[in-house]
Each structure stands twice: as structure tokens, then as C-alpha cells.
Amino acid sequence: MTEQEKETFEQLLSNCADEPIRFPGAIQPHGLLLTLSEPALDIIQVSANVETLLARAPEELIGQPLEHLIGDVDAQAVRVALQQPALFDVPPLRFQLNGTAFEGLLHRHQGVLILELEIHAENFQPRNVAGNQTHLGRMLQRLHAATTLQALYDISVQEIQALTGYDRVLIYRFEEEGHGQVIAEASSPSMEVFNGLFFPASDIPEQARELYRTNWLRIIPNADYQPVPLVPKLRPDTQTPLDLSFATLRSVSPIHCQYMKNMGVLSSMSISLLKGDKLWGLISCGNRQPLHVPHELRSACQTIGQVLSLQISAMESLEISRQREEKLDALALLNQAMIDSPQNVFDGLANLPQTLMALTNAGGVAIIEDKQMHHYGICPEPDEIRALHKWLQESGQSVFASHHLASVYPPAAQYQQVTSGVLAMSLPKPVANGVLWFRPEVKENINWSGDPRKPLALENSDAGLHLRPRTSFEIWKVEMAGISTKWSHGDLFAANDLRRSALENDLARQVRREQDAVHARDELVAVVSHDLRNPMTVISMLCGLLQKDFSSEGHHPSRRISTAIDTMQQAAARMNTLLEDLLDTSKIDAGRYTITPQRLDVGQMFDEAQALLGPLAQDKDIRISFEADPGLRIHADPERLFQVLSNLVGNAIKFTPRLGAVDVLAKSVGSDIVFTVRDSGEGIPKENLARVFDRYWTVKEGNPTGTGLGLYISQGIVEAHGGRIFAESEVGQGSEFRFTVPRLD
């Protein structure tokens, strides 16, 4: 093939994939198709063969009422059928027109009513069938009685062949990779046997699969037909082709018709098999001679397809459940090993390598925990395992499975004899970790129907280059390399469940470690606070005594010593405060902060606060006021509540410039007493306001001595009383802190 021919081939292949099979603009000739307006039932479009079948010119029918073509009685039957809530429940209408028996099929799609008049196959003679309803009932009984999936497949193809008389009936299952395999077949002796063969994905393009998914049944009575165009070609209302996705008479791709003839059949019928809403496979029927199966028998076949779909889903679910149950004992054993492991969860798994390999029927397993790696059985080299694991981590998949590893991870081709399949899981931890199961290469011959590398060919004719479907369906053996046995649903379940258990156990360990660390920290803070408090008290007392001996009015060296002693006293006092704050913080963090509430008069508490805090404000010429509604009483810890009040008022004074104002209020609001501390200070930037109650957070400028614990402790004290604390501020306008305490009635 020349370079130009290759380009032409690729272009034609792309065109084939984009072929508008939903909008062929034509139908098969074993019936008529009309599109009708509602409710008038005027004819919008009609197939051109209305002239040969009913002796009416199509152009003359456009815009005419339906009665003009089929008569008043039959048109009335259509109108009655349209009253049904669901048209797919309406049985075919029977018409006798121009000496020909028709079956009328109705459906709506994209704003138009479509009426198909299919020629009734009056002389159809199915094989070995005595009474269709009796035969259908017997078939359904046999389907329900099947105990295995293969028996279910075999019964289905045998019964459909007996019912319809097709030379070949087979079940075609789609594989994950896109291609399909024939898994059951019933054929006449003259037919080539396809059972067990694989067919390339290109035999059924993606858009055709989507049509199979949305339509239960399609039929082609004679692949040698000449398509019948619609008149007019486009819908008059939209000037677009008519969507025939759900039309029984829809014309099919000429490439597909040629494909059928290359297979040696002139008639076909396909019945979809669905698993949920996904296309699982097809029941495919073929006949060497033209064969028009009537609608009644097609409906029976469709019922078989629907029952088979339900049975497949049910039996596959049972099989999945069985596979999962087989893993439970091993999973329980591995979970207990992880629980009992003294260090980390994967150490426990490393003690049971045989159980771990048997869990997924693997030939080898590797367990990675940071720098440590254990591997057992048949595995790649340690460096190769590390490289593979790194690639798996970068892929971001918590559980990964492949039975053809080299196809997604090319370096694996170097050791595919040892490992062609891998199943892996990992935990979301910052260090490298995970379990990888390995399966070796299993070389096998796959029998294809024809060369899978040449599903289509390029043909040169008078009309130029065009695609033609393959002509050879002879068995083509391909040796599969780099493939392991597939990981089952049970294997994937086991990997996911083991990961879940490992994650739960690992998180439990982290929680215990955090709790132990908090407990150790609390003990340390308590010991340090207790052991340092006495020495700091002694230092403070000695500083006081020394201060009396070195008066600031003495000579110069004495004044320096006095200043140093002042600094020491301030540092000791600050350290004592910090120790108290750390102890309170530790108790709040551990949830052990306790209060001793009693009846308190808010007015009396304000008087004491003004006496103690008022002088601090006077030193900066700040006006300070305390105002409480009369008679307010609360149930609170007096020492702790005063700690909150003094912290908030102290901050307000500290951050309010000279000649400013601080107002302290207490008001009854509902079942709470709301305390408010408002200042006219510099305010808190919006981006910092949400952080003022965080531990150790301070505004660096203007608060060089702050520990960042005052407001955090205040919040803990208020919440211990069952209240809440809030902060509002605007830069340049001041700040307002409010907290609530339940009122005592």
C-alpha cells in the first residue's frame, strides 16, 4: 500500500466510524414508513416505495391526511392506538391495503410520529414448533431451570433457532478490550462453526453498539436489498434527516450488508443482551437465504433476550457473591495479623505470605513499607518492583489490576515471563507503601475469525478507492504473549477489602499514637508547671528583698542593680503567667478543663473588675465604663469568668491609643447574659479576625509580650460554661468581643 493509499485508508476508516447510521434517509423495502403530524395525522414524509406497494405517488401524499392513503377505518385504528399511554405496549395494527397484509408499528421520536407498515410474512414456517405460545412458555421454563451460565446460553440459542429457523444462532459476548467472543452456538450442519472464536472490535463499531444498547432487536430480511429513500429527503420542519434510531425498517450500512454476504448469510437478526444499562453481548442470527421472521416471533425472541439478560445479571451476581465468600476466612486471618502487629500493619501481612498469595491466587507477592520490602514467591527483581510501585503511586490509583501489564507499563516487557499480571493496593500515607500481587505469563493460542489485524480492506473500483469488509473468516491463530490469567471479581474484592482493613487499622494506630502523645504532653506540662512554680516564687520573693536593699535613689551602680532586679521580677511574673496558661491550654486540649460554678451577681463582679482594671486605663488616659442591666445573675466560676473578662478588657486597653474609650456591657438576651467589651482602638484586619482564637497566634506588632494563649483559653472557659464567644472588628474603628453565659433565673 502506498503512502497516499494509507492516508486514504485512514480517512475512509474515520468516515466509516462517523457514518450516520441513525440518519440513513432510507428504509429496507419490506414495508412502508410515514412520518405524521399530531394531532391532525397529516403525512410529512413517506418512503418512495409507496408507489410500488400502494400505487400512490409519494409527492402527491405530502401534506395529505393519513385517511387519504389507508382509508378512514384504518386511520381511526391508528387514532385509537395513539390514546394508549405507552406506544410500545400497543400490539401491531393489522391492515389490508392494495391486496397486501401489513402490520402497523407506531413510535414517537424527536417530536414526530412514525408509522411503519411492515409487510406481514404470511407463509412463514418455523421449524419444529407446534403452537408458538406453548413453545414460548416451554422456552421460558427451560431458561429459568438453567443452573449454570453456559447452560443458559446453550438453551437460548437452541430455542431461538427452533423458533425462527435461522441457519445459525450464536451468543456473542463483548470483552473489556472491545473485541467479542462467541460463547454459544446452534447451527445447521452446512454452516461454518464460530463457537469459541474471537471477532475484532471493528466488526461492530462503537456507534452501532450504542444502537444495539438502545434497541432490543434489529432485523435484515435480505441483505441484497436496495434502500428505499424517504420523500422528501429532509424533514420539512427542521430541514434535517429523520432520526430512524428506533425504526424497525431502518436501512443499514452497505458495509454491514457486504459483511453479511462475506460471511455467507443474506438474512440476520440481532437481539441485545444488557447487563444493567450496558451492552453485554448479542444474540446474533444468520441465514443463507432471505428470511423474514414475522413480528410475533420477533417479539418472542426479544422476550428471550430480556429474560436471558436478567438471568445473566442474576447468575453473575451470585457468582461474584460466591467468589467474595471464598475470600472471607483469609481476609479475617490477615486482618487479625495486622491488628496484632506491634509496629505497622504491613508487618503483620509479611508474617503470612502464603495466605496473602492464596488470597488472590498469585504466584508472588511484595510488601512495601517505606524503605523496607518483603517479597515471596515468583516476583520481579527488587529494583523492578520499586520502579513499578513508583509508577503505580504516580498513577494515583489506590487499587490497580492488569492482566497485560506491559501494555500499560512498557518496562514490564523485560520480565513478562515472570510477571505479566499485577494486582496492587496502597494506603494514602506520605511514605511508599503497598502490597503487589504478581502472576506469570500464560501463553495461549487465541482463535480469531479471520486476521484481527485486517478487519477492513481498501478496494479500488470504477468509483475510486473505498473500504470493503474482510472476506475471510477462517480461523486465525494468534499466540498471546505477556498475558496472565485475568484477575477475578473476587480478587479485586479481596484487594479492596484488605486495603480497607489496613486503612482502618493504620488510622486506629495513628489515633492511639496521637492520644499517647497528647497524654504525655499533658503530663509534661503538669510536671513542668508544678516543679517550676515554686522556684519562680522563690526568685520573685528574693527579687523583692533585694529591691529593698538597692534603692533607685542610691549611687549609679545601685540604680543599675535595681533596674536589673525589676526586669527579673517582670520576667518571673511573666513566666509564672505562661506556666498557668500552658496548664490551662493542656486541659482544654485534652477535654479535661473543669469549672466550679456558683451564683454570681454581675453588677458586683463589674464593681470588682472596675476597681482592678480601672487604673490600667487611667495610666493611658482611656475612659472606661462598666454597665450591667440591674439584677443580672449567672451560674459561673467567678475566678475563671473574671479571667475571661480581665483578658478581654486588658487587650482592649493595650490596643486602644491614649484618650480612647473602652466600654464593658452586660445585657439579658433570651436565656443568656451577653457580655460585650468594646474599644475604640486600631482594630483587627479582616484576614486576621478569624484567627484571633487560635492557639499561639498573636499580632506581632503592638503586642510583643503576648503568648497567643489568652483568647484561646478564654474561648475554652466560655465554652466550658456552655456559652460562645465572638469577635467583630474594623480597622481604624475598634473591636468588639462578645461572649454569652446562661442566665440564672
Model confidence at 87: pLDDT above 50: yes
Please name the residues in contact with 411: beta carbons below 8 A apart, sequence gap of 6 or more: 384, 387, 388
Q: Which three cell numbers stand for residue 336?
A: 487479625
Tell me the torsion sign for CA atoms 641, 645, 648, 650: negative
Domain that holds residue 539: 511-589
In one-letter notation, the amino acid at residue 286 is G
Q: CA 547, CA 180: separation in Å to the nearest integer?
A: 98
pLDDT score recorded for residue 20: 73
Q: Strands 661-669, 623-628: parallel, antiparallel or unpaired by DSSP?
A: parallel
- Tell me the three cell numbers of residue 90: 400497543
Of the candidate ranges 97-111, 341-355, 692-706, the one whose mean pLDDT is the lowest: 692-706
Q: Tell me the residue length of the chain.
A: 745
Residue whose C-alpha cell reads 430480511 in the numeric block? 221
* Strand 598-601 to 633-636 pairing: antiparallel
Q: Is residue 200 part of a domain?
A: yes
Query: Is 386 inside any structural domain?
Result: yes
| Portion of the chain with pLDDT greater than 70, in percent | 77
Higher pLDDT, 25 or 482: 25
Are residues 243 and 103 both part of a single domain? no
C-alpha span between 452 and 430 (Å, rounded): 45
Decide: 706 and 719 in contact? Cβ < 8 Å: no
Give the span between the Cα atoms of 499 and 605, in whole angstroms.
59
Q: Are residues 132 and 146 in the same domain?
A: yes
- Cα–Cα dist 373/346, whole Å: 10
703 near 724, Cβ under 8 Å? no
Q: Are residues 78 and 211 in the same domain?
A: no
Residue 362 backbone phi and psi in degrees, to 5: -95, 155
Residue 152's identity, in one-letter code, is L
pLDDT digits (tens, 9 = 90+) for 502-518: 888 887 777 666 665 56
Per-residue pLDDT tens over the stretch 127-167: 544 445 556 677 778 887 888 889 989 999 998 998 899 99
Residue 17 lies in a domain: no
> Could you say which of 119, 135, 150 is where a domain stops?
119
Position of cell 517582670?
A: 570
Report yes or no on 471 lying in a domain.
no
pLDDT tens sequence across 688-737: 888 888 876 665 444 444 456 778 888 888 988 889 999 999 988 899 99
Residue 87 shares a structural domain with residue 194 = no
Residue 38: per-residue pLDDT: 92
The number of folded domains in the chain is: 5
> What's the angle, vertex CA 66, arms to CA 62 and CA 70, rounded to 5?
115
Residues 177 and 42 in one domain: no
Specify whether 149 is located in the same domain as 282: yes
The model's pLDDT over 370-428, given as tens digits with 9 standing for 90+, comes to 888 999 999 999 999 999 999 999 988 889 999 999 989 999 999 988 999 999 999 88
Asked if 673 contacts 641 with a C-beta cutoff of 8 angstroms, the reply is: no
Same domain, residue pair 577 and 628: no
Question: Exposed e or buried b for every residue in 626-655, given b needs 16+ CB within 10 A?
Answer: bebeeebbbebbbebbbbbbbbbbebbbeb
Q: Are residues 658 and 733 in the same domain?
A: yes
Alpha helix (H) ranges present in 165-294? 206-214, 254-262
The predicted-structure confidence for 309-334, as pLDDT tens digits, reads as follows 988 888 888 888 899 999 999 999 99
**pLDDT beyond 50 at 27:** yes
pLDDT at position 572 is 54
Q: Of 220-234, 435-449, 662-676, where does mean pLDDT reach its minimum?
A: 435-449
Same domain, 136 and 251: yes
The predicted structure's pLDDT at residue 129: 45
pLDDT attached to residue 537: 58
Residue 590 pLDDT exceeds 90: no
In a domain, residue 41? The reply is yes
DSSP state letters, 562-614: HHHHHHHHHHHHHHHHHHHHHHHHHHHHHT------EEEEHHHHHHHHHHHHH
Burial of 509 (0-12, 13-18, 19+ CB in 10 A): middle
Contact, 111 vs 40, CB < 8 A? Answer: no
Q: SS3 breakdown of the chain: % helix, strand, coil, rounded to 5?
A: 45, 25, 35
Tell me whether residue 86 is in a domain. Answer: yes
* Whether pLDDT at 554 is above 70: no
Give the β-pairing of 372-377 and 364-369.
Answer: antiparallel
In a domain, 545, yes or no: yes
Q: At what angle do helices 602-618 and 638-654 cross, to 10 degrees?
A: 30
Coil, strand or helix: which one is 726? Answer: strand
Contact 12, 25 (CB under 8 A): no
Domain end among 69, 104, 119: 119
Contact 431, 467 (CB under 8 A): no
Q: Give the phi and the psi of residue 256 in degrees, each rounded to 5.
A: -70, -40
Q: Which residue has the higher pLDDT, 88 or 530?
A: 88
| 307 and 399 housed in the same domain | no
- Secondary structure in 3-state letters for 46-62: EECCHHHHHCCCHHHHC
Give the range among 255-259, 274-278, 664-668, 707-711 with minimum mean pLDDT. 707-711
> For 428-484, how does the pLDDT look when each residue is reduced to its tens digit (9 = 90+)?
887 889 999 999 987 655 555 555 555 544 444 454 444 445 454 554 444 556 788
Range from 286-300, 459-473, 542-556 that averages highest in pLDDT: 286-300
CATH number of 702's domain: 3.30.565.10
pLDDT score recorded for residue 130: 42
Is 499 within the bounds of a domain?
Answer: no
- Burial label for 513, CB within 10 Å (0-12, 13-18, 19+), is exposed
Residue 561 is predicted with a pLDDT of 66
CATH code of the domain covering residue 274: 3.30.450.40
Final residue belonging to a domain, choices 387, 422, 441 = 441
Cell 419490506 belongs to residue: 30
Same domain, 217 and 75: no
Residue 490 contacts residue 401 (beta carbons within 8 Å): no
> Does residue 274 sit in the same domain as residue 171?
yes
pLDDT tens profile 607-648: 988 888 888 888 889 999 999 999 899 989 888 888 889 889
- Domain of residue 40, CATH code: 3.30.450.20
**For residues 261-290, b (16+ Cβ closer than 10 Å) or e, as one string?**
eebebbbbbbbbbbeeeebbbbbbbbbbee
Residue 548 sits in a domain whose CATH number is: 1.10.287
